[in-house]
Amino acid sequence: MANIGIVIPAAGQGKRMGAGYNKQFLMLMEKPILAHTVRLFEESDFVSEIVIVGAEGDISVIKELVYYQEFHKVAAVCIGGVLRQDSVRAGVRALSPTIQRIVVHDGARPLLTLQAFHKFLEETREYSAAIMGVPIKDTVKRVDIAGKVLDTLPRDYLRAAQTPQIFDREILEEAHQQAASVGYYGTDDASLLEWMGHPVQMVEGMQENIKVTTPEDLLLAERILTQRR
Ligand code: C5P
C-alpha cells in the first residue's frame, strides 16, 4: 500500500468564497487552508510523493508555503488549468514514473483525518478506482431551467462524492486522455472513469470532510478543528 502519490488540485478561483483571492490561502487556525491539507499527506507513511497544482500567479506563494511548513514530500508545484480536470492532469504528469497508485484530494478539503485516510486506503486496496462519499441529508430534486421541479431522486442510493479519490495510474491517465481528446468535462476524476465505462467503488466518507467553498464553511471548519484540539 506504500508508494502512493498525491495530487492536490488547488488552482481554483474560489469565486464562491468572495475573498478576492484563492480560497486555499485563507487562514484556518493560524495556517492557510492548503497547509492543513498537505500536512495530512506529509504525515502518512503510505505517501511517498505529493504534487500541488496551483494557479500560475500562486506558484511562488505555494512554494514558500512548502518551504516554511517543511513539506519534504512535495516533489513539484505545477501550474493548473482552466478546468479542475486540466489541473489534475497536470499534477499526474508531474509525479515520478515509479508512482503507480494515485490519490487525488482537493486542496480545499482540510478536515480529512489521518485515521480516515488510512481506513480509506485499506478499504479501497482491491479496487482500481474508488472514492469517498457520504449519504445525502436533504431530499434532492431535479429542476428545469425555470426552477420547476421535475422529480425527486430516491435518497437511499444518493451519495455526495468527496475526495480522496484513488486510482491505478494507468486507468486515471487513460480517462484524462480520452476525456481531453473529445472535450468531455466532469467535476471530479471518478466521473471521467464512469463516462469511460470503468467501475468506480464508493466507500463511506466522513461528513466532516467538507470542501471549504463559502464563508459559512470556513466558520464550520474552525469549529470542527477547535473541537478536535
Ligand atoms: O471548483 P471546485 O470547488 O470543484 O474545486 C475543487 C478543487 O479543485 C479545489 O481545491 C480547487 O482549487 C481545485 N481546482 C483546480 N483547478 C481548477 C478548478 C478547481 O485545481 N481549474
d(CA 92, CA 51): 8
Per residue, the 3-state secondary structure of 16-40, as one string, reads: HHCCCCCHHHCEECCEEHHHHHHHH
pLDDT at 16 over 80: no
Ordered by where they begin, the domains of the chain are: 4-228 (3.90.550.10)
C-alpha cell at 183: 472535450
Alpha carbon of 37 to ligand 1 centroid (Å): 14
Q: Measuring from each residue's beta carbon to the nearest atom of ligand 1, which residues come in under 6 Å?
A: 9-12, 24, 53, 80-84, 87, 106-108, 187, 211, 213
> What residue owns the CA closest to ligand 1's atom 11?
12
Q: Give the residue from 3, 112, 98, 94 showing the smallest Cα distance to 53.
A: 94
pLDDT digits (tens, 9 = 90+) for 172-208: 999 999 999 999 999 999 999 999 999 999 999 999 9
Mean pLDDT of the chain: 95
d(CA 129, CA 138): 27
In DSSP notation, 146-208 reads T--EEEE--GGG-EEEEEEEEEEHHHHHHHHHHHHHHT---SSSHHHHHHHT---EEEE--TT
d(CA 127, CA 117): 16
Q: Choose one of 106, 163, 187, 212 to mutate for the ligand 1 pocket test, by most ligand atoms within 8 angstroms of C-beta.
A: 106
Alpha carbon of 220 to ligand 1 centroid (Å): 20
Alpha-carbon separation of residue 35 from 39, 124, 164 (angstroms)? 6, 26, 16
pLDDT digits (tens, 9 = 90+) for 132-168: 999 999 999 999 999 999 999 999 999 999 999 999 9
- Rounded to two decimals, the pTM is 0.96
Alpha carbon of 92 to ligand 1 centroid (Å): 15
Mean pLDDT across 15-30: 80
> What residue owns the CA closest to ligand 1's atom 2?
12
pLDDT digits (tens, 9 = 90+) for 113-139: 999 999 999 999 999 999 999 999 999
Alpha carbon of 49 to ligand 1 centroid (Å): 20
